[in-house]
Structure 1
């Protein structure tokens, strides 16, 4: 109990720290460039809502709000009437004198050149990109125990009888394109396939031949479409061992990575399930990788699959570790920094492209995750590896940088658009128009935030399933971090720790 409490506190502190650093760097970029350009800074805030801590130094109020999902730097010369009001600033006026509570007048602030406003607006995203690059170098130097899902699009399982299997696609083949779009990570394959009712895949077979195959997509979790009956290549890691069956007798331990079964390389959980079912009541050699005294050691074991009436399937007696925790202990990856940035940016750019494509927009919107989904992903990754959480923080910073530069009021991109208007037409857009646009988009943004939060709670926590269970419609499935999710095959699943049994 004490260990679990300590673990939860540790995870919570790490999540808050990573979130805080991401927000701080973004706002620090605005702050530093604003000071360099001579703008007046009124507030530097991390978080929204009532202040947990605040202090005024040289006329600038520094504070930490109780709601950690955001922050702001109040710059009255950049936006005296609209965005600062939304963010909670706007104490000064750049257009004229303003009465203080004690009857004194606020000093008139000089107008700021549009190019300075643009620099200040770009600085937040620039800070996030620089932080992402630093984190990418840390991941490169230290390495991370990544799942193979993040590395390639090799198939770890192809169910017999599916369209792909009938066209000759087999375990070990690699998907390179979806409807002409190149994919080099499983998450990219999931994202592309979700946009269509039918896909044409370019597949590199194990003999090097490249074939084109077609497959329909079907509805999966939460209405997202995908190709059912396939799984990505991923390490098969033991979570728990059933003392009643042969795996325990053979000496299999939690944390073992199953390398081969009956002389055949094991590429996924469903692949092992299939192999076990095919060798019922036969003694089979099985190789595992186990970390002993800090070194990965390959062990040869022997197990006998038997029919387990409780599970209604042939088993050797193990439960698999959840995918995001199933690290490839045989290879600690050191992805190049620019490769990490490229993959992180390509994911959000693919999503934004699909979101503005009429035929894809509804499906793309269905894949969006909000704050709860981000926290859930963080928790899964921290439990698996601190370095995975470092990588995920870089991923979030690239996402934040790109999204903040979208040309929408309230976002930094909105400031840039308003400043460009002022630069081109030699006068700022009317304050009432800016105020109307900002208030409208702020309302939409808050609404989107609430909708995503409620949907995330429904999707990623037991709450949604509990509520629907009251009405007999409980279909909630707990999922892991987005980069570690594979496509479910038709192999039987157990109920332990959110993972199949074998």
Structure 2
């Protein structure tokens, strides 16, 4: 039942994003005297349509995408065209009007993103520890980072001399950096700062990430195993383990390392329960099958978000962050040294749907925030000067405005057909690659 609710919500959010984009085109077109043949939400055969005045309103059978049919945006619009089997002669409109209509779609997305950002600002967005800081939560045993003396609790300050605020910045910087090691300034617990060369590896999802280093996550107890040391210590579901023998616990992986380090001696835990810190003494037992010591708890990995201390980023901060993320990607894609890493980090429709699914499962407000991100980035991408995108229409009409004659129709159509083919190919490649990224780990030994 919940899965169906998530699916319906995803379709609703996507449809709303397409609707506001096409509504921007429609309102600007009507205000400037354009002929509007069709307003469609969704693609493919219409499952519902109704003609109101000169415009046919319809819902397509494929719930993603949409369009507003504006024949006067076409370079041949001043020639005779057909609509409903009737010949029409459409008047040529000035280029500036076409530019306004072309930009209006992206404007609709930005306005919608701003309204969503206002909701996030007022309600507050739950955030994870990795969104709140750039502190290292786990360093894998025998990893290159451990050999450099990196430890849980250290903080990454910069990557390639670029300051990072939290773990999201770190992931983005590493993913878009040239392949190979990265240079980072790392501050230790004693406040000393070292410049280190940290190794990276390719994640199963295709992006590069730090090798053997992860961010912080809370050690929340989901269940206590019968007959375990945790049961004897009277640990309970909902407890959060803060310290082991006076040492702060920075992640679930770090807790496991501390248990290994102090076993088989009993350990003193500091546990947060119902807002109060309590002490508990726990002993681990050795699991021969797993070949490690266990205290007998199951972690709650679904509640990493902090719902008590919500972030309230202003709408402008959200819009700026969404735009900055895309500009950083485009900048990396344009540089030969980082283009390969940037291309590998691209996620297609499958990845976008998966990310939105995860956001909604964690919190509806995170789904709203992610939809705002999609709208800002959709607006920017649509304004790129590429044929078949809104930015292509802007360039074409700027040419007409400056030269006082329209761009050659055959050239425009040839470029539109070429880029349409390229976009379809890119779409298929991204869907295939995203699907392979999810399927391949299932069969990996």
- 1:105 equivalenced with 2:105 (yes/no): no
Q: 1:306 aligns to what? A: 285
Q: How many residues align?
A: 443
> Residues of 1 paired with 2:17 and 2:276: CA distance?
39
- 1:185 equivalenced with 2:166 (yes/no): yes
Pairing partner for 1:15 from 10, 17, 29? 10
> Residues of 1 paired with 2:82 and 2:206: CA distance?
55
Pairing partner for 2:437 from 450, 459, 468? 459
Instruction: Output one character per residue of 1:304-324: Cα deviation in whole Å (capped at 9) or x when no partner.
Output: 2221223221112233334x6
- The structure with the largest strand share of the pair is 2
Q: TM-score, normalised by structure 2?
A: 0.92
> Residues of 1 paired with 2:363 and 2:230: CA distance?
27
Pairing partner for 2:260 from 268, 277, 280? 277
Q: 1:25 aligns to what? A: 20
Deviation at 1:376?
1.2
Deviation at 1:170?
3.0
- 1:55 equivalenced with 2:33 (yes/no): no
Cα distance 1:219–1:128, how it changes in 2: closer, same or farther (>3 A)?
same
Deviation at 1:284?
2.6
| Superposition pairs of residues 184-263 of structure 1, within 5 angstroms | 184-194=165-175, 195-196=177-178, 197-263=180-246
Q: 1:446 aligns to what? A: 424
Deviation at 1:141?
1.5
Deviation at 1:168?
4.4
Deviation at 1:152?
2.5
Deviation at 1:441?
0.7
- 1:139 equivalenced with 2:134 (yes/no): no
**Does structure 1 retain, via aligned residues, the 8 Å contact 2:181–2:198?**
yes
Pairing partner for 1:316 from 295, 312, 316? 295
SS in 2 for 1:177: strand
> Residues of 2 paired with 1:38 and 1:255: CA distance?
62
| Superposition pairs of residues 260-409 of structure 1, within 5 angstroms | 260-289=243-272, 296=275, 298-322=277-301, 325-409=303-387
Deviation at 1:58?
0.8
- 1:158 equivalenced with 2:153 (yes/no): no
Pairing partner for 2:408 from 402, 424, 430? 430
SS in 2 for 1:446: helix
> Residues of 1 paired with 2:355 and 2:265: CA distance?
40
> Residues of 2 paired with 1:329 and 1:285: CA distance?
28
Pairing partner for 2:100 from 107, 116, 119? 119
**Does structure 1 retain, via aligned residues, the 8 Å contact 2:204–2:441?**
no
SS in 2 for 1:328: strand
Deviation at 1:299?
4.9
Deviation at 1:448?
1.0
Q: Which moved more, 1:6-15 or 1:125-134?
A: 125-134
> Residues of 1 paired with 2:269 and 2:320: CA distance?
38
- 1:45 equivalenced with 2:26 (yes/no): no
Cα distance 1:131–1:273, how it changes in 2: closer, same or farther (>3 A)?
same
Cα distance 1:328–1:434, how it changes in 2: closer, same or farther (>3 A)?
same
Which runs of 5 or more structure 2 residues have no equivalent in the other structure?
A: none
Cα distance 1:200–1:424, how it changes in 2: closer, same or farther (>3 A)?
same
> Residues of 1 paired with 2:411 and 2:329: CA distance?
30
| Superposition pairs of residues 75-90 of structure 1, within 5 angstroms | 75-79=70-74
> Residues of 1 paired with 2:318 and 2:276: CA distance?
30
- CA-based RMSD: 2.3
Deviation at 1:289?
4.0
Cα distance 1:252–1:58, how it changes in 2: closer, same or farther (>3 A)?
farther
Deviation at 1:337?
2.7
Q: 1:171 aligns to what? A: 152
> Residues of 2 paired with 1:36 and 1:287: CA distance?
66
Deviation at 1:57?
0.6
> Residues of 1 paired with 2:262 and 2:233: CA distance?
16
SS in 1 for 2:126: coil
Deviation at 1:176?
2.3
Q: 2:65 aligns to what? A: 70
> Residues of 1 paired with 2:110 and 2:425: CA distance?
27
**Does structure 2 retain, via aligned residues, the 8 Å contact 1:34–1:40?**
yes
Deviation at 1:234?
2.3
SS in 2 for 1:202: strand
Deviation at 1:49?
0.5
Cα distance 1:101–1:123, how it changes in 2: closer, same or farther (>3 A)?
closer
> Residues of 2 paired with 1:312 and 1:404: CA distance?
54
SS in 2 for 1:176: strand
Instruction: Output one character per residue of 1:423-451: Cα deviation in whole Å (capped at 9) or x when no partner.
Output: 11111111111111111111111111111
Deviation at 1:150?
2.0
**Does structure 1 retain, via aligned residues, the 8 Å contact 2:75–2:406?**
no
Cα distance 1:334–1:285, how it changes in 2: closer, same or farther (>3 A)?
farther
